[in-house]
Amino acid sequence: MQLPIYEHSANFPFSREDVWAWHARPGAIRRIMPGWEGIRPIEVGGIHDGAKTSFKISIGPIPQRWVAEHHSYIEGEQFCDNMVKGPFGRWDHAHKFLAVSDDEMTIHDHVDWKLPFHFFSRIGAPIMVMPRLRQMFKHRTRRINADMNRQAKYKDAPRKRILISGSTGLIGTQLSAFLETDGHDVHRLLRKTSALHPDSDKNKIVRWDDQTGEVLEGSMENFDVIIHLAGAGIGDKRWSKKRKQLILNSRTIPTKNLAENIAHLASPPSLFMSASAIGFYDNRGDEELDETSSIGSGFLAETCQQWEQSTEPARSAGIRTVIFRTGIVTTAAGGMLQKLLLPAKMGGMGPVGGGRQWQSWISFDDHIYSIHHLMNQDDSEGVYNLTAPNPVTQKVYAKTLGRVLKRPAFAPIPGFMMKLLFGKMGKGLILDGQKVHPKRLIESGYDFEHSDLESALRDTLGRFN
């Protein structure tokens, strides 16, 4: 019986050499993996013959380990991978890079596959396999085009040596991968107890005690940019008195220590970028907010204020400092959206606490691209709101998510239930809201990948039109 075959061709408005270089760099596999699949790389050995890549993936409720070995490598033209362990009976994937002109090329993917019991391959193909393959390759095409379009804007700028804290977190992992595919020299700032991702370069780390500022391994000298993202999760657990203190201390103490460290370096970075959040504004109803708006009141506002003030040693030393106040990052890979997916898929996602509270969101890609954009603006300095230009109410968010998932979204959830389930965290993160606009980001010339919520949700969930 002939093996099932899947073929896919995608055109790119870039030279074959540039697209090949993007794929050959560290970080490429992280960028092309769809967030909705929950794939976790374990080993990434490159694309040369004999190199192995392995990752964890779920097929339904069953976790699987996929191990692929590369073969038939031709520099600049093709690489292939064959599954040696995993959920398929056979999987042999050839990636061919075809030049169309000097500034246009095509990637042609050819996959020979079968299920473990070959008899079921043709039966299962239209239901279990082909729809996921079409989703995956459409995602890859969109992601490569989007990344390379952003990177092309600054292709003539010198590559930078970059140090990132929080590089093992949700945002830091993808930001590091994106910058690596852009050819930057990315290093990771880790706490003494932090585990490095298995696919990261073990020779490019700086280890420190974030509570004392002591550098334990490597050096912070001679970086062009330092990006600080680390901090305990705000929405991970109920806000007990102990948890609130951890949230505050995990932001203010390391930020102050890092700012003081780089202020005393012999060769300090020219740019220090540090995270903050739109919780700075607290619950403001329908008030239109931008970077000039006053601080709110409450735990989140006070935390953000102290967090931002902790960067002062670097600023006082003359180091250009950018603070980005992040909104709700919209990604199926984690954060609020991931928590909402199960009830939303069951049709139980409706207005929460009336649904009138504003949700200032930003797509995962726009969050990463805006950091990259500000990093490449020589005059960027001060506070920037990283939110999409069109905030929505929680009711609109729920309806839009239901429409994308093709599920009803009308079942209301009373506000008191959120308070019972999550305590003060439920009020601060779910029932309160703010209508925030990215005024300074837009003025800097940033062009959004996803300015409307539905396109962002479709992209991160793989629910393409």
What CATH code is carried by the domain that includes residue 214? 3.40.50.720
Examine the domain organization and report whether 72 and 170 are in the same domain: no
Spatial contact of 317 and 446, defined as CB atoms under 8 Å apart: no
- Which residues, 6+ apart, have CB-to-CB distance to 374 below 8 Å? 273, 322, 324, 380, 384, 441, 444, 446
Examine the domain organization and report whether 144 and 291 are in the same domain: no
For residue 62, give the H/E element and its range: strand 62-74
Calpha distance 172→167 (Å, rounded): 4
Examine the domain organization and report whether 146 and 169 are in the same domain: no
On the question of pLDDT at 39 being above 60, the answer is yes
Could you list the residue range(s) of the whole structural domain that residue 110 is in? 5-152
Region for residue 190 given its phi and psi (left: phi exceeds 0; alpha: psi -120 to 50; beta: otherwise): beta
Closest of 269, 390, 264, 265 to residue 327, by C-alpha:
390
| Token pair listed for 362 | 């930003």
Amino acid at 359: Q
Q: Using the 3D structure, point to which of 96, 122, 152 is the last residue of a domain.
A: 152
pLDDT in tens, 304-341: 999 999 999 999 999 999 999 999 999 988 887 887 78
Spatial contact of 258 and 230, defined as CB atoms under 8 Å apart: no
Q: Using the 3D structure, point to which of 152, 171, 197 is the last residue of a domain.
A: 152
| Token pair listed for 156 | 């003539």
Calpha distance 128→60 (Å, rounded): 10
pLDDT in tens, 390-418: 999 989 998 999 999 998 877 776 666 65
What pLDDT is stored for residue 60 in this prediction?
62
Examine the domain organization and report whether 285 and 421 are in the same domain: yes
How many helices and strands (H and E) does the chain possess?
15, 21
pLDDT in tens, 295-304: 998 888 999 9
- Which residues, 6+ apart, have CB-to-CB distance to 10 below 8 Å? 106, 107, 137, 140, 141, 144
Examine the domain organization and report whether 435 and 360 are in the same domain: yes
pLDDT in tens, 225-254: 999 998 877 766 666 788 888 889 989 999
Examine the domain organization and report whether 107 and 182 are in the same domain: no
Calpha distance 283→358 (Å, rounded): 9
Closest of 30, 80, 41 to residue 181, by C-alpha:
30
Q: Are strands 104-114 and 5-12 parallel, antiparallel or unpaired?
A: antiparallel
CB neighbours of residue 192 within 10 Å: 12
On the question of pLDDT at 126 being above 90, the answer is no
On the question of pLDDT at 220 being above 50, the answer is yes
Examine the domain organization and report whether 165 and 210 are in the same domain: yes
Examine the domain organization and report whether 267 and 147 are in the same domain: no
Spatial contact of 47 and 75, defined as CB atoms under 8 Å apart: no
Calpha distance 437→295 (Å, rounded): 15
On the question of pLDDT at 31 being above 90, the answer is yes
| Token pair listed for 345 | 């898929």
Examine the domain organization and report whether 294 and 168 are in the same domain: yes
Examine the domain organization and report whether 132 and 181 are in the same domain: no
On the question of pLDDT at 2 being above 70, the answer is no
Calpha distance 442→430 (Å, rounded): 27
CATH number reported for the structural domain that contains residue 61 in this entry: 3.30.530.20
pLDDT in tens, 412-428: 766 666 555 555 555 55
HSE of 23 in the Cβ direction (CA atoms, 13 Å)?
24
Q: Using the 3D structure, point to which of 120, 152, 184 is the last residue of a domain.
A: 152
Strands of 320-326's sheet in order across: 215-217, 205-208, 185-191, 161-165, 225-228, 271-277, 320-326, 382-386
Chain CA centroid to CA 135, Å: 19
In the chain, how many domains are there? 2
Examine the domain organization and report whether 440 and 407 are in the same domain: yes
Percent of residues, the chain, with pLDDT higher than 70: 91
What is the band of 1 on the pLDDT scale with cuts at 50, 70, 90? very low
Q: Among 16-30, 120-134, 368-382, which is the least confidently predicted range? A: 120-134
Higher per-residue pLDDT: 308 or 124? 308
Task: Read off the pTM.
Answer: 0.93
Examine the domain organization and report whether 25 and 48 are in the same domain: yes
